[in-house]
Amino acid sequence: MNFKGKDVVSIRDFSKKEIEHILSVAKTMVPAAKGQEISELMKGKILATLFYEPSTRTNLSFKAAMLRLGGSTLGFTDAKGTSATKGETLADTIRMAEAYSDIVVLRHPQEGSARLAAQFSKQPVINAGDGAGQHPTQTLLDLFTIQDELGSIEGKNIALVGDLRYGRTAHSLAHALAMFDTKLTFVSPRTLKMPGEVIRHLEDEGAEPVISDDLESVIPDSDIIYVTRIQKERFPDPAEYIKVAGSYRLDQDMIKNAKQTMRIMHPLPRVNEIPPEIDATVHSAYFRQAFNGVPVRMALLALVGGVV
Amino acid sequence: MNFKGKDVVSIRDFSKKEIEHILSVAKTMVPAAKGQEISELMKGKILATLFYEPSTRTNLSFKAAMLRLGGSTLGFTDAKGTSATKGETLADTIRMAEAYSDIVVLRHPQEGSARLAAQFSKQPVINAGDGAGQHPTQTLLDLFTIQDELGSIEGKNIALVGDLRYGRTAHSLAHALAMFDTKLTFVSPRTLKMPGEVIRHLEDEGAEPVISDDLESVIPDSDIIYVTRIQKERFPDPAEYIKVAGSYRLDQDMIKNAKQTMRIMHPLPRVNEIPPEIDATVHSAYFRQAFNGVPVRMALLALVGGVV
Amino acid sequence: MNFKGKDVVSIRDFSKKEIEHILSVAKTMVPAAKGQEISELMKGKILATLFYEPSTRTNLSFKAAMLRLGGSTLGFTDAKGTSATKGETLADTIRMAEAYSDIVVLRHPQEGSARLAAQFSKQPVINAGDGAGQHPTQTLLDLFTIQDELGSIEGKNIALVGDLRYGRTAHSLAHALAMFDTKLTFVSPRTLKMPGEVIRHLEDEGAEPVISDDLESVIPDSDIIYVTRIQKERFPDPAEYIKVAGSYRLDQDMIKNAKQTMRIMHPLPRVNEIPPEIDATVHSAYFRQAFNGVPVRMALLALVGGVV
């Protein structure tokens, strides 16, 4: 399997076999990701990180990945002050970035921008989130986490919880999980339900997702509870938000009937969805999940850089 | 020729022989600039990039240059939040930077600031643009590009087009090109003509620049068309701007009588001066020109750092 | 003495012996700090620099320290655009940073935040200033400078001058100097006097600080004059500020009776407290003091990183 020079725009561009290969390479990156081993796989190479909107976690995790591989990084963390404000097109900025680097990471508020960038760049482009579009490295690190926490992804009971309507994380992850024959449950308030289009797609792919609005009843059977943030801005009525947010809050009482092996994941940052009391329980996997961004992104950089 | 510790403030500080030496060193840097070879010439060395105003392209290109030499960088990308806002003088900030680095790159809105910085710094200072003043590394990369595209600079027909009144790029480049016995043509709307002072200087240096406001008629004889951006803000009357911008737009029709070997250059970012349809023609050299910023800046860093 | 994994939150956490050890390690770092030697002590290691408020000098000096040790850095320079604006707690941001790095440097406007961060982080946390709280690396570089300039700290006459009320630098430094049996004099306008609480603390530790508001009379006996900035904002009446600032301005005339070996220090940035005419005198030590931030921070990074 040769990933050299390949763009990473959408998780849909990867077959199950390719995803498994990425995850297995990521596993080998863990010691260097922890700073326990020194890697020089990307020595002399430069990663350009073009963030047209801030995303500290994704940005720092890509940088850490490149640095842990012995490479270096340059770029910007928001669009202000860049040539975009002088009227430069994204295509031209990308051509600048490719002239100064070996791999380009792009975060952009506009859907489709990563695909466009990939068309113009001779260097591989990795999509770090394009608006309501794709965020494939988040999906890959989520898959890696499930595999790492449970031993395998195949056949697990996985509940996606929270804002399933606007949350792009949930859509991409659901698609990828369907490839692994998981049993999916979508838990959300009625106004934030998984879009019918996404569900039909999943059914076409052979999945049989269960829809629920009762989080508590879903927990006992779940292997993974994947929580996403419910944003206040989605609710015209603040009282409605408070009510909803309360019933999707994963406190101690809520998880008292969970399996011992059940793991809670969250793409972070969290606000009130998971209270700090959960952090010390055996169920919390979200901090390890955040770390997993590093070995997974190391694997991708090394793969598209053609050094593994 | 020893450049160790030398400041790079103005292209006027360099003789033709020195410029030729920099260009020949730059040529040897190309493989490492492309990431095809690993250089460790500046290993352990730090470049401070002090940008008092944003200039993404220049900033990233200096960083890429230092990283490609195996060195590292630190600095800031705008003045906000720096000690300057607490009332610190430029002299004191420079003395801070020299304490933390081996070479200082300065971008500052005020003319003369790079010269001042060079006086206070024990480390070499490279001017990355000081207001209406100098931008010598841009001139050097322009010369490198002409040489690389045409085989030599000597005796070529070179047209500078656009805003020749306020564009500092054009003034410095014209001076440097005069040293290489080129035939210069200045093409601009009447309100944006090359200043008389610059022209007299050039004539003192033996050049005989031709003045024109008709771009189309200049193209057939030109080896290089160097386009600069015409800024809307220069025109009190928007209608006047639209008319002018239209007649200095370099589209397919305009260049149909150009020599096959003619090359179009632009310091970038461009807006409407060169439409995307030109990108795929044999004439477009501006993306290679952008890349050339890396080997040329690598050469300067290595030279003033005393490692080549 | 083993510092591996230790947090650096307050200078009060260190014994005199430990401080002396840090200073002696710092001394060995000077050649690499100047770029005269190449160190790879922290090769493959990452320093996270989390600056919730801008502090260019401290930030760049920590970066220089890590780079001079062969390591690399990532982080942010102000809170804007970070997850904090999405409601993430400091504890969660710290857990992100520790997942992406080996050592975390924190600058935060809120007192106590570094202590909190240290509790949540598995990686060592270094306090780079927490509001009115502590700034231990500033104190260490001040001590290093005194030792380096005078040969030793023990028993010297040291005057702290300026805003001793709000200036946290002065409080921490006074505490540390008391450990070295120095003779302390506190010189300030009456409204900016050293707080009684700090003085009582010092007396408990055996110091007998002298209080003065007459800078000129203090100078002849002093070995070190440590000047801090008097901020206009502290004075409701601008006329009062101008009067006060004038009498704490250290000009040529003021220091004419100083010992030849007397050294002037300042944490920088300075504004009017020390005019440029002093820079060229034998007394000015503040630029060397700024440089000393690099070897001292190198020593701390190498010590808590467990590599020296």
pLDDT tens-digit readout, B143-161: 999 999 999 999 999 999 9
| Tens-place pLDDT, residues B267-287 | 999 988 999 999 999 999 999
DSSP state of C85: G
Is A295 within 8 Å of A18 (Cβ atoms)? no
Query: Across the interface, which of B32, B276, B291 has its CB nearest the CB of A99?
Result: B291
Report if residue B299 sits inside a domain.
yes
Minimal C-alpha gap between C268 and chain A (Å): 28
* pTM reported for the whole predicted model: 0.96
Compute the residue count for chain B. Answer: 308
pLDDT of residue A133: 80
Residue B191's pLDDT band, with cuts at 50, 70 and 90, is confident
pLDDT above 90: residue B131: no
Quick: pLDDT tens for C82-127.
Answer: 777 778 999 999 999 999 999 999 999 999 999 999 999 999 999 9
Helix (H) / strand (E) element for A26: namely helix A16-33
Q: Got the DSSP string for B15-32?
A: -HHHHHHHHHHHHHHHHH
CA distance C38 to C40: 7
CA distances to A95, A297, B101, B192 from A44, in Å: 20, 18, 20, 44
DSSP letter at B106? Answer: E
CB contact under 8 A, A268 and C99: no
Q: Is residue A3 in some structural domain?
A: no
Of residues C237, C158, C161, C224, the one with CA closest to residue C192: C161
> A281 an active-site residue?
no
B307 burial (CB, 10 Å; 0-12 / 13-18 / 19+) is middle
Q: Please answer whether residues B289 and B141 qualify as being in contact, where contact means their C-beta atoms are separated by less than 8 angstroms.
A: yes
In degrees and rounded to multiples of 5, residue A62 shows phi and psi of -65, -45
Active site residue B21: no
Range of the domain at A196: 137-290
- Residue contact B88–C54, C-beta within 8 A: no
- Whether residues C128 and C179 share a domain: the answer is no
Q: Do A78 and C83 touch (CB under 8 A)?
A: no
Under a CB-based contact definition with an 8 Å cutoff, are residues C262 and C222 in contact? yes
Is there a domain that residue B1 lies in?
no
DSSP at A258: S
Mapping DSSP to helix (H, G, I), strand (E, B) and coil, where does residue C229 land?
coil
The CA-atom distances, in angstroms, between B202 and each of A163, B207, B208 are: 67, 5, 7
Tokens encoding C173: 């430094």
B207 in the same domain as B253: yes
Domain total of chain C: 2
Q: Partners of C53 in the beta sheet?
A: none
The reply to whether A5 falls in a domain is no
A78 and A151 part of one domain: no
Both tokens of C270, joined, read 């300075």
Tell whether B56 and B129 lie within a shared domain. yes
Residue with tokens 């930030």: C59
Q: At what angle do helices C286-304 and C56-68 cross, to 10 degrees?
A: 50
Predicted pLDDT at A80: 83
CA distance readout (Å), B36 to A45, A118, B33, B117, B256: 9, 21, 8, 35, 37
Instruction: Using the structure block, give the residue that is written with the tokens 């073009």.
Output: A50
Residue A2 lies in a domain: no
Query: Quick one: C279 exposed, middle or buried, by C-beta within 10 A (0-12, 13-18, 19+)?
Result: middle
* Chain B residues within an 8 Å CB radius of C109: none
pLDDT computed for residue A187 by the predictor: 97
Looking at every residue in chain C, the average pLDDT score rounds to 94
Mutate to test the interface with B, among A72, A73, A122, A301 (most CBs of B within 10 A): A72
Sequence-ordered list of residues with C-beta below 8 angstroms from that of A15, at least 6 positions apart, any chain = none
Are both C27 and C125 inside the same structural domain? yes
CB contact under 8 A, A70 and C96: no
Across B28-32, B118-122, C77-81, C143-147, least confident range: C77-81
Q: Least CB-CB distance to A57: which of C46, C72, C83?
A: C83
Q: How far is CA B250 from CA B109, B168, B227, B279, in A?
A: 30, 21, 9, 11
Cα C287 to its chain centre, rounded Å, is: 14
DSSP states along A73-98:
EEEESSSTTSGGGGT--HHHHHHHHH
Would residue A80 count as lying in a domain?
yes
Q: Which residues of A touch C82 (CB under 8 A)?
A: 54, 56
* Nearest-10 crossing angle of helices A168-179, A196-204: 10
User: Is there a single domain that holds both residue A85 and residue A164?
Assistant: no
Residues B127 and B148 occupy one common structural domain:
no
Q: State the smallest CA–CA distance between residue B82 and chain C in angstroms.
A: 6
**Nearest CB to C95 within list A56, A287, A294:** A287
DSSP structure string for B26-77: HHHHHHHHTTSS---TTTT-EEEEEESS--HHHHHHHHHHHHHTT-EEEEES
DSSP letters, B246-277, are HHT---TTTTTTS-TT-EEE--S--SSSS-GG
Contact C22, C299 (CB under 8 A): yes
Antiparallel, parallel or unpaired: β C125-130 and C103-108: parallel
Is-catalytic flag, A107? yes
Neighbours of chain B (3+ CB pairs under 8 A): A, C
In sequence order, the 6+-apart residues with CB closer than 8 A to the CB of C3 are C18, C22, C303, C304, C306
| Residue at B3 is within a domain | no
Residue ranges of chain B whose CB lies within 8 Å of a chain A CB: 32, 35, 37-39, 54, 56-57, 60-61, 63-64, 67-68, 70, 72-73, 77-78, 268-271, 276, 287, 290-291, 293-294
- Closest-CA distance, C295 to chain A, in angstroms, reads 23
Per-residue confidence in pLDDT tens, chain A, 308 aa:
899 999 999 999 999 999 999 999 999 999 999 999 999 999 999 999 999 999 999 999 999 999 999 999 999 998 887 777 778 999 999 999 999 999 999 999 999 999 999 999 999 999 999 988 889 999 999 999 999 999 999 999 999 999 999 887 899 999 999 999 999 999 999 889 999 999 999 999 999 999 999 999 999 999 999 999 888 877 888 888 888 888 889 999 999 999 999 999 999 999 889 999 999 999 999 999 999 999 999 999 999 999 99
Does C4 reside within a domain? no
- A281 or C131, higher pLDDT: A281
- Which residues of chain C have a CB within 8 Å of the CB of B86? 269, 271
Contact assessment for residue C227 and residue C250, using Cβ atoms and an 8 Å cutoff: yes
Chain C contacts of B91, Cβ < 8 Å? 276
More confident residue, B86 or B221: B221
Q: Omega into C269 within 30° of 0, i.e. cis?
A: yes
| Residue B212, SS3 per DSSP | strand
Q: Which of B265, B162, B150 is nearest to B215 (CA)?
A: B162
Distance of CA A304 to the CA centre of its chain: 18
d(CA B83, CA C229): 13
Which residues, at least 6 apart from C108, have a Cβ–Cβ distance to it below 8 Å?
Answer: C50, C52, C53, C90, C114, C117, C129, C130, C131
Residue A122's SS3 state is coil
Which entry of C6, C107, C168, C297 is annotated as an active-site residue? C107
Same structural domain, B105 and B247: no
A-chain residue closest to B79, CA distance: A81
By Cβ distance, the residue of A38, A68, A269 closest to C92 is A269
Asked if residue C114 lies in contact with residue C106, where contact means CB atoms within 8 angstroms, the answer is yes
| Partner-chain contact B64 A74, CB within 8 Å | yes
Residue C233 gets which letter from DSSP?
G
CATH number of the CATH domain containing C83: 3.40.50.1370
Pair B308, B302: CB distance under 8 Å: yes
Same domain flag for C51 and C169: no
Q: What ipTM was estimated for this complex? A: 0.95
Looking at residue C281, what is its pLDDT? 97
Please indicate, yes or no, whether residues C20 and C76 belong to a single structural domain of this protein: yes
What local confidence, expressed as pLDDT, does residue B271 receive?
A: 86
Q: Write out pLDDT tens, residues C234-272.
A: 788 888 888 888 888 999 999 999 999 999 999 999 988
Residue C229 known to be catalytic: no
Interface with B, mutate which of A40, A67, A69, A92 (most B CBs under 10 A):
A92
Catalytic-labelled residue, pool A6, A45, A49, A58 = A58
Question: Does the active-site annotation cover C263?
Answer: no
- Regarding whether A39 and A164 lie in a shared domain, the answer is no
Contact criterion met (CB below 8 Å) for B264 and B284: yes
How many whole angstroms separate alpha carbon A83 and alpha carbon A68?
Answer: 30
* pLDDT tens digits, one per residue of B100-115: 999 999 999 999 999 9
Shared domain check, B130 and B152: no
